[in-house]
Amino acid sequence: MATKKPAIASLRPYLAPLLLKRVQPGTSDALMKDLRKEIEAAITNGSNSSRSIIGQSRYDSPGNLLAGVIEYVEESPPSWAPNSSYCDVNHHVVIVAIKGSHVAICVSDTPFRGRLAKSLKAARPVSREILERSFVGVRARAMWLNGIHPQTDWKPTAKTLMGQALEHTLDPLGDQSFYYSAVRSHVSLSPSTGSSLETLVGASPDAGHIWVNRPGDWNEFAAKVEQILDIVASPPSSPTTRRFQALAQAVSDLVNVKDAYDIALVPPELLSDEDVDGQTRELAMQWAYDAQFDIVSTSGANLISDVHLAGIHIGRFELALKANAPHIDVSVKWTVMPKDQNLRRKECEKFLMEPEWLKVYYESAHTLAYGRLFISAYQDQQFEWTFQSMIGYDVTAEKPEVLPTKTLAESIGEPKHGGGGNDNSLFGFILMQLFPNGWLACDDGSMELADFVHIDDRTDEVTLIHAKAAKSADPQRQISVSRYEVVVGQAVKNLRHLMSTTLVAQLEKGKLNQMAKAVWYNGVRQADRTGIIARAGQLAPNHPKRVIILQPQLTKTEHDNCRSLQPPNVRALKMRQLDTLMLSAELSARAVGATLLGIGAR
């Protein structure tokens, strides 16, 4: 049946451009001509299916954007009947947009985009650095992680994370052997001209590819493409800290790379939700699951390996690596070639040379993946401490002295016996300095839920506070990990009480105890727990949650001094042990949707 060729104005392509920069200087018209020629060749050549170009158009925007549209048809038998007379017909479009020195190419045939990126010569994908600076933002909603650790039954080789702000959910201990290949985050797209676009943007920095959404019409599509090209031409300044510090990081040289011990082919087709043809997926599965590599010898980053496919020896090859910053070039030379395996060796060599497929693991903690070298972030991660002035408070006194004829509950925050000012213990500090507003109740004693529980009237945030006195009030006191062991353990085991139902039950359970009289609302003592129990029962199911560990044994001065030291210095080692202890507690808190705040003395 004849079809009517659509007008450009009626097109509504998905905004998922491959971003490139021209190689040679020249006019936009000349670059468009070169790119059209290369794209046409990529469409019509080297495919097992039949592709034919059915139309081309040109679009000049009111601004400086030049766009070209290439439409083509792909005819191929379905994968489930490869030798039948059936024929699937798919219509596709390639849109090339040029502004200045930069190019955006949108392709409706998703698998074709990667092949096209490798074949183009007139323009090459923009660098990872520029794409990351421009299109990786905050509050990451989705993250695709690839592992660089040895393959094991106990840890995935890749994983996908979904959430509200994934940069805060990364495990600083367990995720150090993963790097991110793609991320979807909130980005403020504010080019030098045009309106600002605040939206979710997906980015695959190494592939030079981003994805946004499907604009409402062609005019909106063209405007957003121009906006994106403006940003690539003038990217934001580099962030002061590297992205996702808990993850593995890329390196650009081979100096310390040695002792390869494993090779894997991990086709992205198996990890993608994109529409991949059946034949490609079958081939990907075969080489991913049935190939076996046995490394014979190594020399620096290079290696020699035998390869079997489904138990059949395909051959032996030399794999040589060469740094071509920021990428790593790979070459393959066959040294043993069994008969009747030429086709399989060609397949194997093609996949070994494919950056998106090949992974090589080294005992030096490096991994070759996606054409780049990564090294695990295995290092001592630092816990972010908060320090507050405790001048006027006795950091060695966790609780106040019990006043004559009074109980401990009745002594918190009260003037001292015989004068000398108000309660200056840590309990007094919590009441008068940390939480003078909102609901606050003390639950000190056996089977306590925390030393204090606080409910913020404005935000519904529930905070459990665990306090431990310092061993000494000496301003030069040194770090002591043992002073934190008990209080951190108490904090972790009581995380369940952050939930509204368990919090209400625990407060109800102790409402007849003497400590039940230690309740304040906006700093005013209450007769009992009736008010805070009622307030806890009104909390929304997703109320904010927080845990505070107050331990003034650590001072800001000692913290900074220990950070400047390196092992085997004992104080440096103690600081790293304390960091690990607090990070482990932080992970436990995150598991129940809570944050962890560690407070020391300034």
Contact present, 601 and 478 (Cβ < 8 Å): no
> What was the pLDDT predicted at 21?
95
Predicted confidence at residue 314, as pLDDT, reads 96
State the Cα–Cα distance between residues 200 and 87, nearest whole angstrom: 38
The runs of H, that is alpha helices, within 254-412 are 278-289, 342-352, 408-411
Q: What is d(CA 19, CA 125) in angstroms, rounded to the nearest whole number?
A: 6
- pLDDT band (50, 70, 90) for residue 192: very low
Q: What is the dihedral of CA 305, 324, 238, 366, to 10 degrees?
A: 20
Q: Is 385 exposed, middle or buried (0-12, 13-18, 19+ CB in 10 A)?
A: middle
The pLDDT assigned to 277 comes to 56
Quote the pLDDT of residue 289.
76
pLDDT tens-place string over residues 148-175? 776 677 788 889 999 988 988 888 777 8
Residues 408-422: what's their mean pLDDT? 89
Of all residues in the chain, what percent carry a pLDDT higher than 90? 52
Q: Averaging pLDDT over each range in 141-150, 214-223, 379-388, which range is the top one?
A: 214-223
Mean pLDDT of the chain: 87
Confidence of residue 245 (pLDDT cuts 50, 70, 90): confident
| CA atoms within 13 Å, Cβ hemisphere of 319 | 36
Task: Report the alpha-carbon distance of residue 92 to residue 109 in Å, rounded.
Answer: 6
- Residue 381, pLDDT > 60, answer yes
More reliable by pLDDT, 164 or 193: 164
CB atoms within 10 A of CB 15: 20
Question: Cα(392)–Cα(261) distance, rounded to whole angstroms?
Answer: 60
Q: Which residues pair with 550 in a beta bridge?
A: 467, 599
Residue type, position 311, single letter: G
The radius of gyration of the chain's CA atoms, rounded to the nearest angstrom, is 31
The tokens describing 368, both together, are 């070759």
Q: What is the pLDDT of residue 375?
A: 83
Comparing 2-11, 282-291, 432-441, which segment has the lowest mean pLDDT?
A: 2-11
Q: Name the nearest CA neighbour of 594 among 506, 502, 504, 495.
A: 495
Residue pair 379/173 in contact (Cβ under 8 Å)? The answer is no
Q: What distance, in Å, lies between the first and last C-alpha atoms of the chain?
A: 79
User: Is a pLDDT exceeding 50 seen at residue 571?
Assistant: yes
Q: How confident is the model at residue 380 (pLDDT cuts 50, 70, 90)?
A: low
Q: Which two tokens stand for residue 493?
A: 């085991």
CA distance 508 to 530: 9
What CA–CA distance (Å, rounded) separates 450 from 515?
12
For the segment 306-313, the average pLDDT, to the nearest whole number, is 93
State the pLDDT at residue 570. 81
Pair 377, 366: CB distance under 8 Å: no
pLDDT at 278: 60
Could you state, in order of their start, the residue ranges of all structural domains in the chain? 8-233, 250-375, 386-601
**Band of pLDDT at residue 377, cut at 50, 70 and 90:** low
Question: Does residue 69 have a pLDDT over 50?
Answer: yes
What's the whole-number mean pLDDT along residues 265-288? 64
Residue 49, pLDDT > 90, answer no
**Torsion 244-271-197-169 (CA) sign:** negative
The 3-state secondary structure of 36-79, one letter per residue: HHHHHHHHHCCCCCEEEEEEEEEEECCCCCEEEEEEEEEEECCC
Would you state the pLDDT for residue 59? 80
pLDDT at 2 over 50: no
Predicted pLDDT at 190: 63
Nearest 5°: phi and psi at 503?
Answer: -65, -45
Q: Pick the most confident of 77-86, 313-322, 417-426.
A: 313-322
So what's the pLDDT on residue 544? Answer: 94
Beta-carbon contacts of residue 493 (< 8 Å; ≥ 6 apart): none
Q: What is the pLDDT of residues 439-471, one digit of tens each?
A: 999 998 777 789 999 999 999 999 999 999 998
Q: Tens of pLDDT along 582-596?
A: 988 898 898 888 999
- 3-class DSSP state of 492: helix
